Amino acid sequence: MTQELLRQVRLLDPISQVDRVGDLLIGEGQILEVSAHTRPSPPNINSRDCTGLVLAPGLVDLYSHADEPGFETRETLASLAAAAVGGGFTRLMLLPDTQPVLDHGNGIAWLQAHLPQGLPLQVKAWGAISQNLEGQQLVEFSDLVQAGVVGFSDGRPLQNLLLLRRFLEYLGPQAPPIALWPCQVSLAEQGVIREGLEALRLGLPEISTLAETTALATLIEMVALVKTPIHIMRVSTARSVALLKAAKAEGLPITASTTWMHLLGNSQSLGNYDVNWRLDPPVGTVADQEALISGIETGVIDAISIDHHAYTYEEKTVAFSEAPPGAIGLELALPLLWDSFVNSGRWSALTLWRALSTQPSQCLHQVPAVLQAGHPAELVLFDPQQTWQIDPQSLHSLSYNTPWQGQTLRGRVLKTWCPIPSMDPLK
């Protein structure tokens, strides 16, 4: 296999706190050498001048939606995987809300057999907590663990608290990752915008902050009692950040994530009724957004998730309140977050990479990728200055449901490396 020498590239490694220019040599799926000085390039090495480019550990997405099987007109496993690679992701975790639901080992086996091969991407699936995601009866955990799930999540609010307590008690302190979405459905009702002045101005049905915070407070109390670690999905309010800060100060085994779009938008983003800002939970107020951004900076919120959810043009071409919630993001998150937070000087490049790579790995109980000799070459090469237009031709995703459609972005992934082929991702 031909070795690759990336010369004078900006090396980012959150684990070792490295942010400097150097050379890196790749061969046989491993990092062979990292040097602060330019080294000569022998004729048998594929050398590339990477001045101005960024090389860092591959990105890790905690949860996104797999539309195959069941909804292939939105997204196939092939297009989803290609979008992930195109966005710099080397690890992708899929929620179980396929059709049929991933609530048994056979479903995981089907997914494994139909994943595209040969891409530099590791793909794993969350196993459902409840049968058919109905929240009434627990799945056979041992069956799913044997099948190789990354952990357990329904990917939707679990309202049966007695069932949830039994589930946490059954798995115990050494449980695999458990991802829970705090939302009290009876308080959320049919709301599509966070309560506040913008909701009144736009005349849209609102969701109370209590829908999230009461559910989160309950989960925190449950963890305090049974000691089983959990991951909190889709944090969207300032009050939730405060609750998580207090829980972590008590030493409770809780990690948390927010989605990339909740960091970039707020209720004012809904001003033109763009259905691609229809999310669940909705983006918060300006104060909520600032609390989430600060939460990433302080570590109260551990990670940024993508929560990629494709929909067809027809599904989204409806009134705002009737539109299904969700947007694509695997190919867009890194350039938009980099431009908004790193280029603006709000975050260091290491802060962003920690939240998109290192911390998601740790939330999943996985070993993070690093830029050190002797370690697997799980890397992404990113050009923060390259511009490109978002249109169906430039995206790998089959769908186009994003608020940034038609716009020109700055920053693009050039290449990813991952030594483990996607043909055997769940073992």
CATH number where 396 lies? 2.30.40.10
Q: Are residues 87 and 35 in the same domain?
A: no
Q: Which residues on neighbouring strands pair with residue 47, listed in sequence order?
A: 5
Given this model, what pLDDT does residue 36 score?
Answer: 84
Q: Is residue 368 part of a domain?
A: no
Given this model, what pLDDT does residue 34 score?
Answer: 96
Q: Is residue 179 part of a domain?
A: yes
Q: Tell me if 30 sits within 8 A of 418, measured CB to CB.
A: no
Q: Are residues 11 and 74 in the same domain?
A: no
Of 153, 118, 185, 160, which is closest to residue 305 (Cα–Cα)? 153
Given this model, what pLDDT does residue 427 score?
Answer: 34
Pairwise CA distance, residues 91 & 170, whole Å: 28
Pairwise CA distance, residues 240 & 383, whole Å: 35
* Cα-based angle 294, 295, 300 (whole degrees, multiple of 5): 150
Q: Are residues 46 and 169 in the same domain?
A: no
Q: Are residues 331 and 349 in the same domain?
A: yes
pLDDT in tens, the chain (427 residues): 689 999 999 999 999 999 999 999 999 999 999 998 766 767 788 999 999 999 999 999 999 999 999 999 999 999 999 999 999 999 999 999 999 999 999 999 999 999 999 999 999 999 999 999 999 999 999 999 999 999 999 999 999 999 999 999 999 999 999 999 999 999 998 999 999 999 999 999 999 999 999 999 999 999 999 999 999 999 999 999 999 999 999 999 999 999 999 999 999 999 999 999 999 999 999 999 999 999 999 999 999 999 999 999 999 999 999 999 999 999 999 999 999 999 999 999 999 999 999 999 999 999 999 999 999 999 999 999 999 999 999 999 999 999 999 999 999 999 999 986 543 333 3
Q: Is residue 308 part of a domain?
A: yes
Q: Are residues 49 and 190 in the same domain?
A: no
Q: Is residue 426 part of a domain?
A: no
Q: Is residue 425 part of a domain?
A: no
Pairwise CA distance, residues 268 & 284, whole Å: 9
Given this model, what pLDDT does residue 422 score?
Answer: 41
Q: Are residues 338 and 380 in the same domain?
A: no
Q: Are residues 231 and 266 in the same domain?
A: yes
Two structure tokens written together for 32: 């062979």
Q: Tell me if 192 sits within 8 A of 204, measured CB to CB.
A: yes
Q: Is residue 424 part of a domain?
A: no
Range of the domain at 207: 58-363
Q: Is residue 135 part of a domain?
A: yes
Please name the helix (run of DSSP H) or strand (run of DSSP E) that holds residue 18, with its range, or none: strand 18-27
Q: Are residues 19 and 106 in the same domain?
A: no
Q: Measured over all CA atoms, what is the biggest interatomic distance in the chain, rounded to whole angstroms?
A: 67
Given this model, what pLDDT does residue 39 score?
Answer: 66
End residue of a domain, out of 363, 387, 403: 363
pTM (global) more than 0.85: yes
Polymer length in residues for the chain? 427
Q: Are residues 354 and 380 in the same domain?
A: no
Q: How far is CA 124 from CA 108, 148, 194, 266, 422, in A?
A: 9, 8, 32, 31, 9
Q: Are residues 97 and 31 in the same domain?
A: no
Given this model, what pLDDT does residue 260 score?
Answer: 98
Q: Are residues 41 and 148 in the same domain?
A: no
Dihedral Cα 127, 184, 280, 333, nearest 10 deg? -60
CATH number where 144 lies? 3.20.20.140
- Distance between terminal CA atoms of the chain? 25
Q: Is residue 422 part of a domain?
A: no
Q: Are residues 209 and 148 in the same domain?
A: yes
Given this model, what pLDDT does residue 424 score?
Answer: 36
Given this model, what pLDDT does residue 1 score?
Answer: 62
The number of distinct structural domains making up the chain is: 2
Dihedral Cα 265, 396, 30, 383, nearest 10 deg? -60
End residue of a domain, out of 342, 363, 384: 363
Number of neighbours of residue 335 by Cβ within 10 angstroms: 24
Q: Tell me if 209 sits within 8 A of 239, measured CB to CB.
A: yes
